[in-house]
Amino acid sequence: MKAWEDKIRRVTPYVPGEQPKKPVIKLNTNECPYPPSPAVKEVLESMDTTYLRLYPDTEATALAKALALTYGINEDQIFIGVGSDDVLAMAFMTFFQGKKPILFPDITYSFYDVWAELFRIPYEKIPLDAEFHLVRENYYKENGGVIFPNPNAPTGIAENLDFIRDILVHNQDVIVIVDEAYIDFAEKPSAIELLKEFENLLVVQTFSKSRAMAGMRIGYAFGSKELIHAMKDIKYSFNSYTMNMAAQAAGTAAVLDQKYFESTVEKVVETRKRTADCLKKLGFVFPESEANFIFASHKTVPAKQLYEELKKRDIYVRYFNKPRIDNYLRITIGTDEQMEHLITALEEILDEANR
Ligand code: PMP
């Protein structure tokens, strides 16, 4: 080994879902199957190149104003980042820096332990119960912070506001982050309502799913003025010009088209219901999803086999070879047509497997 090799910071990186180079039915990374608002395309097509020549607005002012208007939040309570991954990474860096372990579920977004390792934050994974629900009492103990997605990923299960309030009541000395990447598809309300009650709450959302802009990389957080100010100080100590003007302008146009956003969400939710019925008939079991995916296990055929067979047919779903969930597929809700292809393929595969 060369002497400098031990100077290198070694990490085990997050593994994103595959982005195939050929056309496939892509149900593996929870993207939206519909395009973003037509207003987004218009804004991008008419964009002045001045915005490329100059450095961007570090505060993403127009986008922050549009979010403030839409969600009834003060602008100084909004942090904007390049995807919610960027927002979450900044939040980890800003708020999780004590000696006590931060708490998050054992089955959850697999980036949390990667950031914890990267920033050297001690952490403890709290097991979900047998039905994949968070167990509130397990978050009452002393800790260095709490984070969980609601709805949780990859289970799709959402907890109600009373549950989240209870976690906050029991964790008033640390920062509690609720990652709401999928909340727009849920029946249960956003924790935004709780911001009035708790200054230590940070709610993180994204344009990647319900606003169909995963490629643009836009995420944001709502929190008290103090939390947001602290996050901005960290961000400006790291890289101030993160979000380009095209993303800012496109994001602003998307937020302002509330009607289009609502219709997209409604379509996905309808298709989720239809898909759930079909999957049940095929012998799949799954918790009720409040996200844009279904986390399903088949009663007889192993998930890994289904994943591989679907892949051979150019249908990509997500499979996690991890304890407790290695017999599940996370299936993103696509268009009705895509889901019909999926169901037909599953019928075929199950037929063959059961022969
Ligand atoms: N949180 C959760 C729970 C997610 O599943 C994802 C998507 N991988 C993200 C955050 C990050 O999404 P993005 O960076 O595209 O906003």
Please enumerate in sequence order all residues whose Cβ is within 8 A of that of 234, keeping only pairs 6 or more positions apart, or say none: 90, 93, 94
Give the residue whose CA is nearest to atom 7 of ligand 1: 181
Q: Is the CB of 206 under 6 A from ligand 1?
A: yes
pLDDT at 77: 98
pLDDT at 316: 98
Per-residue confidence in pLDDT tens, the chain, 355 aa:
899 999 999 999 998 888 999 999 999 999 999 999 999 999 999 999 999 999 999 999 999 999 999 999 999 999 999 999 999 999 999 999 989 999 999 999 999 999 999 999 999 999 999 999 999 999 999 999 999 999 999 999 999 999 999 999 999 999 999 999 999 999 999 999 999 999 999 999 999 999 999 999 999 999 999 999 999 999 999 999 999 999 999 999 999 999 999 999 999 999 999 999 999 999 999 999 999 999 999 999 999 999 999 999 999 999 999 999 999 999 999 999 999 999 999 999 999 998 8
Which atom of ligand 1 lies at the shortest distance from residue 17's CA?
A: 8
Topology of domain 19-34+259-353, CATH: Aspartate Aminotransferase, domain 1 (3.90.1150)
Q: Which amino acid is at 271?
A: T
pLDDT at 98: 87
CA distance 275 to 278: 5
CA distance 16 to 28: 10
- CATH of 38-256, picked from 3.40.640.10, 3.30.1370.60, 3.10.450.50, 3.40.50.720, is 3.40.640.10
Q: Is the CB of 210 under 6 A from ligand 1?
A: no
Q: Is the CB of 179 under 6 A from ligand 1?
A: yes
Q: Is the CB of 114 under 6 A from ligand 1?
A: no
Q: Domains of the chain: which residue ranges?
A: 19-34+259-353, 38-256
